């Protein structure tokens, strides 16, 4: 199979879909790997590293898209990339379709087959291609939130750990999954007073067993959430209903109940965000103010630490990428129901129910699409 990897073009996105190690493995499996020049530069991988791995470097994204049977990326295809997708071509990347009707309609119109990293599952009930980036974004969240809290950035001017005689920042994390747990660990490590909210009692039991002495946890209801948010210096949004648009848990009216200059870090922004006032921002201009509350809503946070993120993502995607290339997507998905759960679009049809529900589009069962 011809596997193509273009340079990412989303603003300030420095990750790349394939590492030289992944390229090497694919070449060893008998595949041809085509990389756009400088695609890996932002993650510290030079063209020469890919050439040494057996890949071919081409000058433009157009050449990658025109040549490859499978496109491997990091971020959802941007409008100009969507125009280059064609019928029968396989796209393997993050998509986040539920909050993005334009992208969804373009992918359906292209006739391509699109497998979304964020909805591939595993036997433990996890999301193995989302979790490495959730680990990164979770660990980054208190770091960017602490910066947002600084007075010069519009924040309350509260130090995470406080100092002797002055108490620490109060941090509330909504959603205690991968992002939430990593965020809470780092915020607690910085000395903050941290509480995690979740709706899953099993998850709360796990958090209590493992991190009981490090941070607190509480069952998430509308009442418990606003009560904690009122007291918070920083609120981190980390909920997920897989594939679906994020539930809005704090309304615009409720911002007035928060402390002036408090910071919101809405990591769930890539699924639309869990605060009514959240809108996606970029690393170039990451924060904005609504009613005195500072919002940080970067949808590709891991791009800020591209080297760590590219390697972590590549470790997770490689076995799936090799299965898709070795067997073709239909056989690979028939052999692995967890990979089939990644199928979002095939030949003009939507194949993921939560996306169909969010966007009001009819859905064809992935198990039917894979046999069509
Ligand atoms: N902005 C960025 O750069 C990145 C964003 N993300 C996003 O972060 C979000 C969280 O991802 P993960 O932690 O991997 O998901 P996860 O599935 O591990 O955790 C989500 C948690 O939210 C909980 N939850 C659901 N509804 C809730 C509610 N109403 N109240 C409280 N808890 C609730 C679930 O029980 C679960 O424990 C996703 O939207 C993901 O796409 C992930 C990586 C990077
Ligand atoms: C998960 C995701 O969308 C990201 O890492 O950018
Ligand atoms: Mg994202």
pLDDT over threshold 90, residue 243: no
CA R_g for the chain: 21
Question: For residue 96, what are its two tokens?
Answer: 């986040």
Is 125 among the domain residues?
no
Q: Interhelix angle for 20-28 vs 306-327, to 10°?
A: 10
Instruction: Using the structure block, give the residue that is written with the tokens 């990591």.
Output: 267
In a shared domain, residues 213 and 74? no
Residue with tokens 């490859």: 68
pLDDT at 275: 98
Gap between the Cα atoms of 370 and 331, Å rounded = 8
Assess whether 202 and 144 both reside in one domain.
Answer: yes
The pick from 141, 237, 299 for probing ligand 2's pocket by mutation, whose C-beta has the most ligand atoms within 8 angstroms, reads: 299
Same domain? For 184 and 208 the reply is yes
* Residue 109 and residue 153 in one domain: no
Query: Is a pLDDT exceeding 90 seen at residue 143?
Result: yes
Pair of tokens at residue 296 = 């940080």
Residues 139 and 246 in one domain: yes
Q: Name the domain boundary from 267, 299, 331.
A: 299
Name the band, by pLDDT with cuts 50, 70 and 90, for residue 11: confident
Q: Is 76 in the pocket of ligand 1 (CB under 6 A)?
A: no
For ligand 2, whether the C-beta of 94 sits within 6 Å is: yes
Residue nearest ligand 2's atom 4 by CA: 300
Full DSSP string of 242-304: TTSPPP--B-TGGGGGSPTT-EEEEGGGGGT-SBTT---BBTTB-EEEETTEEEE-BTTGGGG
**Domain presence at residue 265:** yes
Interaxial angle between packed helices 131-148 and 306-327, expressed in degrees from 0 to 180 and rounded to the nearest 10:
160
What CATH number is associated with residue 155? Answer: 3.40.50.720
Query: In the 8-state DSSP scheme, what is residue 8?
Result: P
Check residue 147 and give its pLDDT. 98
Q: Is the CB of 100 under 6 A from ligand 2?
A: no
Residues 172, 286: one domain? yes
pLDDT tens per residue across span 51-103: 999 999 999 999 999 999 999 999 999 999 999 999 999 999 999 999 999 99
**270 has catalytic annotation:** yes
- Residue 95 in tokens: 């998509």
Range of the domain at 33: 2-119+306-371
Q: Whose CA is nearest to atom 40 of ligand 1?
A: 268
* Ligand 1 pocket mutation, candidates 238, 265, 304, criterion most atoms within 8 A of CB: 238
The structure tokens listed for 6 are 């273009």
Q: What is the pTM of this model?
A: 0.94
- The single residue of 270, 295, 336, 346 carrying the catalytic annotation is 270
Task: For strands 56-58 and 32-36, give the pairing.
Answer: parallel
Other beta carbons within 10 angstroms of residue 203's beta carbon come to: 17
Which domain-ending residue is among 254, 282, 299? 299
Question: Does the CB atom of residue 300 touch ligand 2 within 6 A?
Answer: yes
- Same domain, yes or no, for 295 and 245? yes
Structural domain contains residue 92: yes
My answer on whether 207 and 97 are in the same domain is no
Known catalytic residue at 96 = yes
Report CA-CA distances (Å) from 209 to 202, 213, 348. Answer: 11, 9, 46
Whether 50 lines ligand 2, by a CB cut-off of 6 Å, is: no
Domain for residue 126, yes or no?
no
Q: Are 56 and 27 in contact (CB under 8 A)?
A: no
Structure confidence at residue 34 (pLDDT): 98
How many domains are there within the chain?
A: 2
């Amino acid at each position: 199979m011809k596997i193509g990897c273009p340079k990412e073009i989303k603003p300030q996105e420095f990750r790349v879909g394939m590492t030289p190690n992944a390229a090497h493995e694919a070449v060893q499996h008998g595949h041809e790997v085509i990389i756009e020049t400088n695609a890996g530069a932002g993650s510290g991988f030079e063209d020469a590293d890919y050439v040494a791995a057996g890949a071919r470097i081409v000058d433009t994204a157009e050449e990658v898209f025109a040549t490859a049977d499978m496109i491997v990326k990091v971020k959802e295809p941007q409008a100009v990339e969507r125009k280059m997708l064609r019928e029968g071509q396989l796209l393997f990347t993050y998509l986040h379709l539920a909050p993005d009707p334009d992208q969804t309609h373009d992918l359906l119109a292209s006739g391509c087959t699109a497998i979304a990293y964020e909805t591939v599952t595993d036997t433990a009930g996890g999301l193995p291609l989302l979790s490495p980036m959730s680990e990164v974004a979770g660990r980054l969240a208190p770091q960017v939130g602490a910066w947002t809290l600084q007075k010069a950035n519009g924040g309350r001017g509260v130090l995470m750990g406080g100092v002797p005689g002055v108490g620490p920042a109060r941090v509330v994390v909504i959603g205690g999954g991968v992002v939430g747990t990593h965020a809470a660990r780092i915020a607690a490590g910085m000395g903050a007073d941290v509480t995690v909210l979740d709706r899953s009692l099993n998850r709360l039991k796990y958090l209590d067993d493992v991190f009981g002495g490090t941070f607190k946890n509480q069952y998430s209801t509308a009442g418990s959430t606003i009560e904690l948010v009122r007291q918070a210096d920083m609120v981190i949004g980390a909920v997920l209903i897989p594939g679906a648009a994020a539930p809005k848990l704090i309304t615009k009216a409720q911002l007035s109940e928060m402390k002036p200059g408090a910071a919101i870090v809405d990591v769930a922004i890539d699924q639309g965000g869990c605060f009514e006032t959240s809108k996606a921002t970029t690393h170039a201009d990451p924060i904005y103010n609504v009613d005195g509350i500072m919002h940080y809503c970067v949808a590709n946070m891991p791009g800020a630490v591209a080297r760590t993120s590219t390697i972590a993502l590549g470790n997770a995607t490689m076995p799936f990428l090799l299965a898709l290339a070795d067997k073709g997507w239909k056989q690979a998905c028939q052999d692995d129901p967890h990979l089939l759960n990644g199928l979002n679009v095939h030949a003009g049809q939507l194949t993921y129910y939560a996306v169909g529900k969010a966007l009001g589009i009819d859905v064809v069962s992935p198990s039917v699409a894979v046999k069509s």
